[in-house]
Structure 1
Amino acid sequence: MWMRGLNGKWLVLSLIAVLLMGCARGNMLIDGPELQQWIAAGEANWRYENAELVADGAGEGFLMTRSSYKDFRLNLEFWIDETTNSGVFVRCQDRANIHPETCFEVNIWDNHPQQDARTGAIVLKVMPPLQNIVTVGRWNTMDITAEGQKLVVRVNSQITALMDRADTAPGFIALQHWEKGTVRFRNIQVLPI
């Protein structure tokens, strides 16, 4: 009797732990080669490769989530080469007009000709970034928290941008590849707040 009761409690606790781990991980946005959670736009060469979203070549364009998000924490890893111009756009409203004036663009471009807009800046909103982080040629983490009017950006655990007057309208997320270079994204997840 004691063993049966203990096993039952253990099973319930195990199930609760699994459910909590699933909630903590949030919604994983890389769902295999079919990319069912994404919409591609433009000429960028987006593809699924080794559990990563990869874009390279000379194409310009975006990979956009099908879903919209209002208050969330976006976690991802990215890798760029020295020629890459990329970014992560959040709270976008118009799939035909993805731009720093219509979305919040967290830049990924260490060698931006205007260094105030380099990696970690919110383009046209929070420039220069609060930290100068070098990201070329290695895997990096990016965390973007959007809660109400607050946006907080962290690159490699360092706060690079703080904004407290952001538009609160929900919108989709877009990954960018612009002009040349290679960008890779992996372990992309959204946790609702």
Structure 2
Amino acid sequence: MQRFIKLCTALAFSSAFTLSGNSALAQKSDGFIDLMNGGSLSGWNVIGNANWIISKDMIESNKPSGYLVSTQSYRNLVIRAEFWVESTSNSGIFIRCQNPQKLSQQSCYEINIWDTRPEQAYATGAIVDVAKVDPVPLAGGRWNTMEIIANGPHFKVTLNGVVTVADGQDSKYSEGPIGIQSAAGIVKFRKLEIKPL
């Protein structure tokens, strides 16, 4: 009986974790996986020159330019993020990246976080070159929540409870790593969770 209890305990413990790269990341009861990993960059590759500062509760950069890119590849997903940027910061969340060494809007889907982008239609809350925003929601100077849903060729983005992209459609990229960007100003993430669909 004791052997059976130990086996059940081990199975319950192992089912609460999922493998991302070489690291076990905790999976919550709602199916989301916390990518911030408690003060470690395990599960991420650092690309570029940004000075990512990692603490237990936050990932921050105040020096451009660079990315954190997941070692895991994802297809259909939901991302939940909480972030803080200055009004002039340039950041974004990239998904389905085709080249994990060189992230750009030409090789990934970029969900933008850039209030002052010259082409405002693809500013904060938009998916660059896929789905525009109007009016542009401003994220600078406060904490924001963002939810991204990518399911096949369909995309939905919600910023602070407001849908900014209701049904963006594109089928260029079907799978790839995700990334977060630090291109200008201060960028902070205090939540970054993902649920594969």
In the other structure, the counterpart of 1:12 is none
Q: TM-score of the superposition, structure 1-length normalised?
A: 0.83
Answer yes or no: is the 8 Å Cα contact 1:143–1:153 preserved in 2. yes
In the other structure, the counterpart of 2:137 is 133
User: 5+ residue gaps in structure 2?
Assistant: 1-11, 17-26
Q: Given residue 60 of structure 2, which amino acid in structure 1 is its aligned partner?
A: V
In the other structure, the counterpart of 2:28 is 22
> How many pairs align?
172
Answer yes or no: is the 8 Å Cα contact 1:85–1:108 preserved in 2. yes
In the other structure, the counterpart of 2:55 is 49
Bigger Rg, which one: 1
Task: Indicate the RMSD between aligned Cα atoms, in angstroms.
Answer: 1.8
The Cα of 1:25 is off from its aligned counterpart by: 4.6
Show the 5 A alignment for 1:151-166: 151-161=155-165, 162-166=167-171
Partners of 2:65 and 2:103 in 1: how far apart?
12
Q: Which has the higher helix share?
A: 1
In the other structure, the counterpart of 1:7 is none
In the other structure, the counterpart of 1:5 is none
Partners of 2:138 and 2:88 in 1: how far apart?
13
Ranges of 4+ aligned residues in structure 1 off by more than 4 Å? none
Show the 5 A alignment for 1:59-138: 59-127=64-132, 129-138=133-142
Q: Given residue 174 of structure 2, which amino acid in structure 1 is its aligned partner?
A: A
Q: Given residue 153 of structure 1, which amino acid in structure 2 is its aligned partner?
A: V
Partners of 1:76 and 1:124 in 2: how far apart?
22
In the other structure, the counterpart of 1:191 is 195
Partners of 1:186 and 1:30 in 2: how far apart?
8
Partners of 2:45 and 2:116 in 1: how far apart?
28
Q: TM-score of the superposition, structure 2-length normalised?
A: 0.81
Partners of 1:75 and 1:131 in 2: how far apart?
22
Percent of aligned positions that are identical: 33
| Cα deviation digits, residues 8-47 of structure 1 (max 9, x gap) | xxxxxxx9xxx7x923151100012221021110001112
SS of the equivalent of 1:87 reads strand
In the other structure, the counterpart of 2:45 is 39
Partners of 2:134 and 2:87 in 1: how far apart?
21
